[in-house]
């Protein structure tokens, strides 16, 4: 029962994801509609709905493609330095156009549990696992105290960045990141 006919065109997928990314960066997350994405990609609307169940899932794919290239987790031997470097990279991403896509996804995921799950599984968990590894390494090297609850520690480090991206109540630049790390460090250090 082999299917006949043409299959999914990878070139189209790329065009759609690229258009999604470009439009969100250009016009803001809210202003982008499926119609616009389709038109900008020179693609029929159905071609999008054939492969993605909803607009948010297009955005999440576009985000993943974009994010894959960034943020190789550094390993210098110093847990604090590694975490700071990684947090700087995250802050940079959060401030960049790619951050707009993340914000859009978080927005959409409120009231769309499936998307929320996707976002947690495919994006948040991914980022956190890197941090968790660094923390565990720090524990092994005696730089971080052994009784640390890793999940809470990750929240202490990353949640301020998320909150600043989503609410904008405080800056999200490099000095701020460093200040956060410095201030929270006594709670983590061995």
Site of interaction with DNA (CB under 7 A): 1-9, 12, 31, 33-35, 39, 42-47, 49-51, 54-55
Q: Which is nearer to a second copy, 17 or 154 (CB)?
A: 154
* 52 touches 62 (CB < 8 A): no
Residue 21: burial class (beta carbons within 10 Å; 0-12, 13-18, 19+): buried
Q: Which residue has the tokens 């599984």?
A: 121
Residues from 100 through 129 that contact a second copy (CB under 8 A)? 100, 103-104, 106-112, 116, 119-120, 124-125, 128
Q: Which is nearer to a second copy, 69 or 110 (CB)?
A: 110
* Of 84, 67, 170, 71, nearest in space to 123 by CA: 67
* Of 160, 185, 178, 187, nearest in space to 79 by CA: 185
Query: Which does residue 55 bind out of DNA, a second copy, none, counting CB within 5 to 8 angstroms by kind?
Result: DNA
Interface with a second copy includes 184 (CB under 8 A)? Answer: yes
Interface with a second copy includes 168 (CB under 8 A)? Answer: yes
CA dihedral (80, 81, 87, 91) positive or negative: positive
List residues binding a second copy (CB under 8 A). 28-31, 100, 103-104, 106-112, 116, 119-120, 124-125, 128, 148-149, 151-153, 155-156, 158-160, 162-164, 166-170, 179-180, 183-187
């Amino acid at each position: 029962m082999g299917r006949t006919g043409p299959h999914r065109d990878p070139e189209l997928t790329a065009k759609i994801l690229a258009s999604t990314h470009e439009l969100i960066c250009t016009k803001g997350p809210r202003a982008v509609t499926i119609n616009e994405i389709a038109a900008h990609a020179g693609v029929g609307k159905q071609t999008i709905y054939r492969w993605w169940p909803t607009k948010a899932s297009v955005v999440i794919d576009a985000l993943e493609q974009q994010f894959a290239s960034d943020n190789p987790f550094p390993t210098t031997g110093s847990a604090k330095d590694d975490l700071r470097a990684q947090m700087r990279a995250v802050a940079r991403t959060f401030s960049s156009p790619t951050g707009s896509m993340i914000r859009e996804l978080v927005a959409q995921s409120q009231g769309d549990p499936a998307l929320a799950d996707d976002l947690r599984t495919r994006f948040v968990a991914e980022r956190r696992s890197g941090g968790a590894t660094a923390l565990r390494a720090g524990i092994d090297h005696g730089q971080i105290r052994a009784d640390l609850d890793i999940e809470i520690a990750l929240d202490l480090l990353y949640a301020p960045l998320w909150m600043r991206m989503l609410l904008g109540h405080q800056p999200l630049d490099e000095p701020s990141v460093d200040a956060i790390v410095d201030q929270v460090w006594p709670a983590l250090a061995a």
